[in-house]
């Protein structure tokens, strides 16, 4: 309880930040070592190869994301609020240094990654899609949300909006861009009576 987590976890935290800002091929063991004030050999002790590190990063992220969704479900049963909390997870990520979604970044670089990493990325998106589809379906059934097509299709669309808004906001170097685009899309999902509150 004295130090902030063991070395392996600190390595993962720094590597995750570097991954989200620079990409998998945009950082090295040297970068991590310098950030933590240790040697690269120490990192190899915990993660023998960079592929091992990548697999653990993607897997941990998927687990943390599922845990975050579980907390959202425990906090509220309201579909609108659940949706807003989901979007908040992405907003909070981008808010800090315009960090990309970890799996969005990995998707872009997927052709250069070991297969297990690609598998974890696919799993992350599947989790997100399923959770969103269920939430969207509940919201529409309750007359609180309005959209055409299947909940699954809408879930995929929202995921694309979130990932794409991060990418475009970064490319245009205009931070507020993300929030504007996402808020605009959400407004279109809310039924007439629900959108009065804004």
Partner DNA sequence: GTCTATAAGATGATAGAC
Partner DNA sequence: GTCTATCATCTTATAGAC
173: contact with a copy of itself by CB under 8 A: yes
Q: Which does 191 bind (CB under 5 to 8 A by kind): DNA, a copy of itself, none?
A: none
Q: Cβ of 169: how many Cβ atoms within 10 Å?
A: 21
Q: Which two tokens stand for residue 30?
A: 């040297």
Indicate the residue among 21 and 42 with the shorter CB distance to a copy of itself: 21
114 binds a copy of itself (CB under 8 A): no
Question: 124 is in the binding site of which of a copy of itself, DNA, none (Cβ under 5 to 8 A by kind)?
Answer: a copy of itself
Q: Judged by CB under 8 A, does residue 161 bind a copy of itself?
A: yes
Task: Note whether 163 binds a copy of itself by CB under 8 A.
Answer: yes
Q: Write down the H helix ranges in 3-150.
A: 7-22, 29-36, 40-46, 50-75, 79-95, 102-108, 115-141
Report the site for a copy of itself in 51-90 (rule: CB under 8 A).
none
Q: Does 108 bind a copy of itself (CB under 8 A)?
A: yes
The reply on whether position 188 binds a copy of itself by CB under 8 A is yes
**How would you class 97 by CB atoms within 10 Å of its CB: exposed for 0-12, middle for 13-18, buried for 19 or more?**
exposed
Closer of 9 and 95 to DNA (Cβ): 9
User: Is residue 111 within the footprint of DNA (CB under 7 A)?
Assistant: no
Tokens of 47: 């993660």
Question: Cα–chain-centroid distance for residue 90?
Answer: 6
- Residue 140 interacts with, from a copy of itself, DNA, none (CB under 5-8 Å by kind): none
Number of residues in contact with DNA, rule: CB under 7 A? Answer: 20
Q: Does 172 bind a copy of itself (CB under 8 A)?
A: yes
Cα–Cα distance, 198 to 191 (Å, whole number): 12
**Window of 36-44, 66-74, 77-85, 168-176 that interacts with a copy of itself by CB under 8 A:** 168-176
In whole angstroms, what is the distance from residue 150 CA to residue 5 CA? 43
46 forms part of the interface with DNA (CB under 7 A): yes
Any residues with CB less than 8 A from the CB of 100 and at least 6 apart, and which? Answer: 20, 21, 93, 94, 166, 167, 170
């Amino acid at each position: 309880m004295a130090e902030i987590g063991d070395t392996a976890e600190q390595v993962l935290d720094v590597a995750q930040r570097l991954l989200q800002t620079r990409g998998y091929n945009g950082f090295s063991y040297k970068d991590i070592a310098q950030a933590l004030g240790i040697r690269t050999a120490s990192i190899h002790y915990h993660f023998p190869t960079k592929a091992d590190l990548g697999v653990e990063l993607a897997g941990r992220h998927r687990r943390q994301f599922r845990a975050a969704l579980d907390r959202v479900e425990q906090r509220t049963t309201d579909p609108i609020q659940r949706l807003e909390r989901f979007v908040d997870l992405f907003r909070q990520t981008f808010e800090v240094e315009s960090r990309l979604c970890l799996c969005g970044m990995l998707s872009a670089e997927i052709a250069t990654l070991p297969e297990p990493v690609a598998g974890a990325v696919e799993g992350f998106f599947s989790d997100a899609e399923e959770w969103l589809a269920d939430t969207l379906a509940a919201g529409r059934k309750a007359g609180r949300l309005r959209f055409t097509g299947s909940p699954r299709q809408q879930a995929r669309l929202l995921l694309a909006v979130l990932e794409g808004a991060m990418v475009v906001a970064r490319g245009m170097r205009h931070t507020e861009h993300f929030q504007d685009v996402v808020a605009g899309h959400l407004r279109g999902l809310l039924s007439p009576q629900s959108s009065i509150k804004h």
